[in-house]
Chains A and B, each alone.
Chain A
Amino acid sequence: MTSLTMTFLRATRALVVLFAALPGLLHASSQQGLLPVEQAFRLSWQAQPDGELRLSWDIASGYYLYKERIKVRALDDGVTPGDLVLPDGVAKHDEYFGDVQIYRDWVEARLALAGATRIAITVQGCHEVDPQICYPPYVTNLNVAAGGGADPNVSASDAAAIGEPVQQGLQRVASASSSAMGIAGVMALAILITLGLALPFLAIGFIPALASRLPRPDAWIETLKQFLAFPLYATAAWLAWVLTRQRGAAQIVAELEGERS
């Protein structure tokens, strides 16, 4: 066996281990299918040339933010930024709080920086469908000098990295054991995924004529296979990075050794 083939096999093994761990990662980062707070209320911001800071929150469906509980303070000494300018929210009657204003979907705010370079923003929001819960106040520190960006706390498992539908699907699958989906639903979904993966092979099995349309295996296919080890390696490295971000370096060592820390 060539060393490149060995490389390929090793990369594949690492990938299998990490792929198998992915539902676990998503499970660990969410409770009963709830999004982590930084993903439920996704912040992005942009410093304007005129010294104004534009902030916006992309609020996941089923979640809301309290208008009154969005707070801003400067982390620089002796600097007081202007008041946060927020649009009118949607009126909500709260059994205890009375009439409050909330935001769903999306909200943009403006802030006169008045020379502030570092800003701490606190938001507080809730999940309004079952399970009805509230997140603790969540603070994000922004370095305004950087110009603009998204919440630095959003980890690599962020929907933007994996693709929202994929992640939400996986999350739903991962938390299925505690949700209404049940084991039958999980198995049905697993079988569907499996069928999808197997479809090309099955198609050839049922329609053998298709096989003649396949490219002939030759030396080139070995080269291609070996080349493909590299993206596979990159994927494994990326997943390893996600794992260290979410579980710490100790966990990844334990995982690759197949042991539980």
Chain B
Amino acid sequence: MNKSVSLLWVCVLPLVMFAIGLQTGAAWSKESIGVAEKKVAAVAQGFQLIDLEGKRHALSEWAGQPLLINYWASWCGPCIKEMPDLDAFSKSQANAGGVRVIGIATDEADAVRAFLKRVPVSFPILVETIPEGGRGSATLFGDTGGVLPYSVLLNAQGRVVHSKLGSLSRAELESWVKSIHSS
């Protein structure tokens, strides 16, 4: 009797520990999203977001409507591959209440300008300069490594409803939009 009880423990304890570990991991990743769930207006402070004319911007300018933020750079192959799709998406959302799209390039302004000359897009592009070893605004939305491309969809209340590392497909964008309207 005693033996089978201890045998049970030997089997169950590692499982319990494993479950705790997974929970902890999930909680930690949620923690970073928790930070991102702050209102856009609050998030905007302290980041060097400049448009191509050199004018400073805050993310709060886009508050009050659903917003798709796409982090990209001209040196990032998978990023520039999705640019035409994002442009088409942006145009299709021009109606009232549609999703606004902005691109944030973690890149040099000159390189961004040169790229946009070749592949123009209609949505606003901001340039974010991240100091060496520093962290950019993408970190707040869960992109801890500053890896590109990274997209986040905020609802009109400024909460993160979806985020994705890697290129977005049209189908994914459509389902994101659907979920924002049903929520």
Give me the interface of A with B, judged by CB distance under 8 Å: 16, 19-24, 26-28, 31-32, 34, 36-37, 66, 69, 94-97, 124, 126, 130-137, 139, 173-174, 177, 186, 190-191, 193-195, 197-198, 201-202, 205, 260
Contact = CB atoms under 8 A, between A and B. Distances in A.
Interface string B130-174: 101100000000011111111000000000000001110000000
A32 B73 contact: no
The range of chain B's interface size is 35 or more
B97 interface: no
Interface of B, helix, strand, loop or mixed by DSSP: helix
Contacts of B3: 205
A193 B18 CA distance: 10
Interface in B1-22: 3, 6-7, 10-11, 14-15, 17-22
Contacts of B132: 139
Interface in B39-85: 73, 75-81
26 contacts: A21-B21, A21-B24, A23-B18, A23-B21, A31-B144, A31-B147, A32-B165, A34-B165, A37-B145, A133-B148, A134-B147, A136-B130, A136-B147, A139-B132, A139-B133, A173-B22, A174-B21, A193-B14, A193-B18, A194-B11, A194-B14, A194-B15, A194-B18, A197-B10, A198-B10, A260-B27
In the A-B complex, list the 3 residue pairs whose CB atoms are closest, starting with the nearest.
A131-B166, A27-B25, A24-B24
A130 B165 CA distance: 10
A131 B148 CA distance: 10
A227 to B, nearest CB: 22
A37 B17 CA distance: 29
Contacts of A197: 10, 14
Contact of B77 (A23, A27, A97, A191): A97
A96 B145 contact: no
Nearest to B24: A24
B165 A31 contact: yes
Contacts of B28: 24, 27-28
Contacts of B11: 194-195, 198
Contacts of A21: 21, 24
A145 to B, nearest CB: 22
A94 B81 CA distance: 10
B27 A190 contact: no
A164 B9 CA distance: 30
Interface in B74-132: 75-81, 106, 119, 130, 132
A20 B15 CA distance: 10
Contacts of B133: 139
A21 B75 CA distance: 36
Contacts of B179: none
A20 B17 contact: yes
A227 B166 CA distance: 50
A133 B78 contact: yes
Nearest to B3: A205
Most buried by A among B75, B149, B167: B75
B29 A27 contact: yes
A130 B31 CA distance: 25
A129 B29 CA distance: 23
Given A132-B78, A134-B73, A23 B145 contact: no
A202 B79 CA distance: 53
B148 A136 contact: yes
Contact of A95 (B20, B27, B81): B81
